[in-house]
Structure formats: C-alpha cells, structure tokens
Amino acid sequence: MTTENAGSPTWDGLLLDARLATLADTGQPYGAIEDAALGWKDGHIVYAGPMAGLPDAPHALSRSVESAGRAWITPGLVDCHTHLVFGGDRAHEFELRLGGASYEAIARAGGGIASTVCATRAADEDALLAPSLGRARRLIADGATTLEIKSGYGLDLASERKMLRVARRIGAVTGASVRTTFLGAHALPPEFAGQQDAYVDHLCETMLPAIAAENLADAVDAFCESIAFTPAQTRRVFERACALGLPVKLHADQLSDLGGAALSAEFGGLSADHIEHTGEAGVRAMAAAGTVAVLLPGAFYALRDTQLPPIEALRRHGVPMAVASDLNPGTSPLLSLRLAMNLACTLFRLTPEEALRGATVQAARALGLADRGRLAPGLRADFALWPVERPAELCYWIGGNLAAAVYAGGVRLA
C-alpha cells in the first residue's frame, strides 16, 4: 500500500523490519503484512506495506529511519468510553460490594455517582487535572492514542464545564486525541432531589445550550436506567442535543432492558454502551442505524455481573462491536484498554482479532472518526509497537507493559 509520495525524501519517519497488523479487510487475519515498513509525513501515514515495495535505498526517503526489530505495529488503540476525569475515589464501595451490597443499593443510599459528584465539585480545575492526567498517561502508555472523556460528575453547569475543560487540557498536555462527551444526564444532583423532570428541563434549556455554545463537547450521552433517567427523559435530552447539532450516544440497558439501545439507534446514535440486557429488537435497531455496540467488560467484571451482552445476536446482525475501558471510580477502575480487551475475550468470548478491531477500527467508528483505527496511507499516523510474536498476545497477557512505543500523529507519546 503506497502513495504518490513514496519517492519523496522528506518523510518524517520510517520504520523498517516490522510486522503490520493493518486491520484492513484483506482476507488475512488482522490484515497482517510480514516483512513490512511504515512511513509517515505531516502526521499521516504515507506507506504501510511490504519492505519489498520500498525503493532500493529506503534510507533516502525519510529524515528518521529506524528498525522496528520485527515488532508488531498496530493502529493506536482508541478508548471510546471513559470517565477518567473525577475527584476522589470509591475504594470503600469496592469493600461494600465485596460484602454483598449491590451497585443499585449503594447508589440509592447516596453513594455511587453522587459521592463522586461531591468530590469533583470540591476540586478546582488544577486539582482535578493532576490525578486525571495520571490516569490518562497510564492508558497512553498501554497503547491508547485516542481517548473519549465524559463529564457527568459535576451535574451543575460550572462543574460540568470544568470537567470538559480539564478533558481538553489532557489532550493538549499529552498529545493524545481527546473527544469530549457531555454526560449531564448521568444522575440527579442533590439540589434537584425529587425533581427529575425539572432537572431535565434545566439540562435542555440551560446546560446543553451553554456547553454547545462554548464548543466544549463533541457528543452528548445519558444514563437511561431505572436508577437514572427514563426513556422519555432521555428522548428529551437527545432531541435538544440533535437540535444543537451534537451527536448522541447512550449508557443503555446495563441493568435492565428499557429499550435504550433502540432509542440510541432511533436518533442515529454513535453508540449504545454496556447493553448487557439489550434484546433482539434493540440489536436489530442498532444494525439498521449503524450504531456501534460498545462493550464494557471492566464494569461487568467489577460488578460481578452475570448477564452477558447479546454477543451472538450482534454478530448475526452485523453490529460492529467496540471495546472500551469504561475507566471510572466506582464500577470500572480499569487503567488499561488492553486489559479490557483481555476481559472481552475471557468474559464475552470475543476472538482476539475481534477485540483488537473493537479497540481500534470499531472504537474509532463509535466516536465518529474515520481517519484512524487502521494502518493505511492517508490515515493519521497513530500506532503502537509491540515486541510480541503474534497480535493475539495483546489480549493473551493479563497486565504488564507490552507497548514498546506509542505514536499519535507521528509524534512519540510513550
């Protein structure tokens, strides 16, 4: 796979002696190319193909030429669902759950999201940035080059804006791509206790327009569940988001089937996330709309859930399946997208190739991004080097630091 620039002496970087998991639909597992090279210029890939396709003097092509030492190169991982900006932690709830308390019982007792809201509101922007930046760097070191970061732990306009500004700063500081999502409909804030519809009014009339006017969010999310917001209330949020030109996605059918996946699909949603309880009708709706199913095995594991997502139905209907960390303080304190890939294989029975595609190609699609997720000329030079013998090892190893190097836009991040 070459471009007309293949003879240019001004590439920014060229890696030789590599093995590429391009994830192109070539009929080869992982879109693999052995004895390969990867070249990039101005933040984009200009060559991803066999070494034999390069000129006789490849060192004349690029200002920087290195050997990959037979490492596998994959697209940079895309974590399409995180809540990594938050104050405090919820380690005590981990102990409560081990003692038998359910997630729903903890939430109804004032714990859960509400406790993180208190800590997040109390932190100023710099105090919120420091630990959040550390969490983001952990994800990047393990191969992630694109991060989605949600708000939803502020639940008032000032705090939600603060969270989204911090998320933008994380991208500026680390060099990773950050996509922000406004999740004001995450939980009911204490000042609106017993006034759920009034809070939805406030979301639609005040918060969403302000967030949109400041261009702080790339998408809008909601938590449609019995302990959060009803389908009717979620519909109102989505209608306002769409009127403001913001795409939507949804925490759908995690604890019960309220038709959340179908609701997201009805609005052309980028994704429906969790979906453990989604039925056949919801899967069909997602397939028809092109809505991505985002699987979050970290939360499934942490909550010791037993209701599996409808994996076979998703396969049967051709619904793309993404995999994400769901990094959050209460139900998925998971600092590795690669570990989420392992859990998706072990708990949900995805194949290693499905899991890798889920954390690259399909995760990019879940963010509405067509310029990454594969290794091909013209796409962003987001990639990671892995000194492993086969791509399946990215899912096989439980923990550890496998990434030898991580690049975003052709710039080394880790």
Return binding residues for Fe(3+).
81, 83, 251, 326
Return binding residues for 4-imidazolone-5-propanoate.
90, 153, 186, 254, 331
Return binding residues.
81, 83, 90, 153, 186, 251, 254, 326, 328, 330-331
- Angle (CA) 217-221-227 rounded to 5° is 140
Return binding residues for Zn(2+).
81, 83, 251, 326
Return binding residues for N-formimidoyl-L-glutamate.
153, 328, 330
410 burial (CB, 10 Å; 0-12 / 13-18 / 19+) is: buried
For residues 395 and 344, what is the distance between their CA atoms, to the nearest angstrom? 9
Task: Using the structure block, give the residue that is written with the tokens 């502020």.
Answer: 154
Contacts of residue 205, defined as CB under 8 A and 6 or more positions apart, other chains included, come to none
Comparing C-alpha atoms, which of 252, 290, 260 is closest to residue 370?
290
Helix (H) or strand (E) holding 294: strand 292-295
For residues 295 and 12, what is the distance between their CA atoms, to the nearest angstrom? 36
For residues 142 and 56, what is the distance between their CA atoms, to the nearest angstrom? 35
38 contacts 86 by C-beta, under 8 angstroms: no
For residues 179 and 149, what is the distance between their CA atoms, to the nearest angstrom? 6
DSSP string computed for 327-359? -BTTTB----HHHHHHHHHHHH---HHHHHHHT
